[in-house]
Every structure is written in structure tokens, then in C-alpha cells.
């Protein structure tokens, strides 16, 4: 099972790196668009266009900051560690789903099935934190049993 944990970790890292590359590309495109904006006889149009580009760049910078935090969170995970309880880096198996407690990336498909990369700060992550194999927790009005924690 440690092998699958490492594979899921690698997929998470790949997804985060792809997001970084996508945001950086969007930032370059926004900068290029801002540089191409020329002052027209309608000065307000020029100023509005520049302001919109500035807002877009700020939005992208915020997204890049959030994704960088995800990457830093992933760097704190040791996939070789056998987790006795649900914590950062744990793989939590229930009858209905498999969760990799790491960063919020959602559903990840791996040859062994479907996994959900969830943050320990997410609602499901908080419900599971500290639980051990055989423990149960409530989420969405349902009692969920932990079949395995790795």
C-alpha cells in the first residue's frame, strides 16, 4: 500500500506543478496583452483595459500563491511513513471512499481505483483527523468507519 501512497503523492505533485505552469502562462499572456494595449483617442477605454489587466494579474498572483502553498504542504509529507492515525500524509480507507490527506485537489484516478486528495482543514479532513483504524466518524449525517489508515 505504500507504493500506491507514493503514486498518489506523485500525481498530486504533478497536478500542482501543472497548475503552477498554467497560472504562470496566464500571467505571461496577461502581461503581453497589457503591453499591447495602446492608447486610443478614447482615453477611458485605454484606462479601463489597463485596469482590467491589472485586476487579472492580481487574481493570477493570488492563485499562484495558493498553489505554492499547496506545493509546500506536499513537501511536508513522507510517503514512507506508516500513519497510525489520520493526519497529513495518511491514506484513509473507508467502505465508500479512499482519501489521501494532503492538499485539496479532489478526485484522483490511479490504477488501484479512485482516491480523493483532501486537506486536513477540509470538512472531511477535520472529521477524520486523529482517527485510527476501526474508529468511526460522522460526516454528512452518516457514520463512516475507517477500514485502514496507512
Structure pTM? 0.85
The distance from CA 9 to its chain's CA centroid, rounded to whole angstroms, is 11
β-pairing, 98-101 vs 136-139, is unpaired
Place of cell 501512497: 5
pLDDT in tens, the chain (150 residues): 678 899 999 999 999 999 999 999 999 988 887 777 655 545 566 567 777 888 888 999 999 999 999 999 999 999 989 899 999 999 999 999 999 999 999 999 987 799 999 999 999 999 999 999 999 999 999 999 999 999
Per DSSP, 133 falls in state T
Amino acid at each position: 500500500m505504500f507504493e500506491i501512497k507514493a503514486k498518489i503523492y506523485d500525481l498530486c505533485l504533478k497536478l500542482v506543478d501543472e497548475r503552477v505552469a498554467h497560472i504562470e502562462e496566464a500571467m505571461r499572456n496577461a502581461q503581453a496583452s497589457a503591453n499591447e494595449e495602446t492608447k486610443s483617442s478614447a482615453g477611458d477605454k485605454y484606462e479601463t483595459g489597463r485596469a482590467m489587466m491589472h485586476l487579472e494579474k492580481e487574481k493570477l498572483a493570488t492563485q499562484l500563491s495558493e498553489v505554492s502553498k499547496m506545493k509546500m504542504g506536499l513537501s511536508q509529507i513522507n510517503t514512507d511513513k506508516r500513519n497510525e492515525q489520520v493526519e497529513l500524509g495518511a491514506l484513509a480507507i473507508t467502505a465508500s471512499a479512499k482519501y489521501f490527506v494532503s492538499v485539496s485537489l479532489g478526485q484522483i484516478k490511479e490504477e488501484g481505483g479512485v482516491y480523493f486528495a483532501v486537506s486536513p482543514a477540509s470538512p472531511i479532513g477535520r472529521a477524520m483527523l486523529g482517527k485510527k483504524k476501526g474508529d468511526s466518524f460522522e460526516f454528512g449525517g452518516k457514520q463512516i468507519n475507517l477500514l485502514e489508515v496507512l
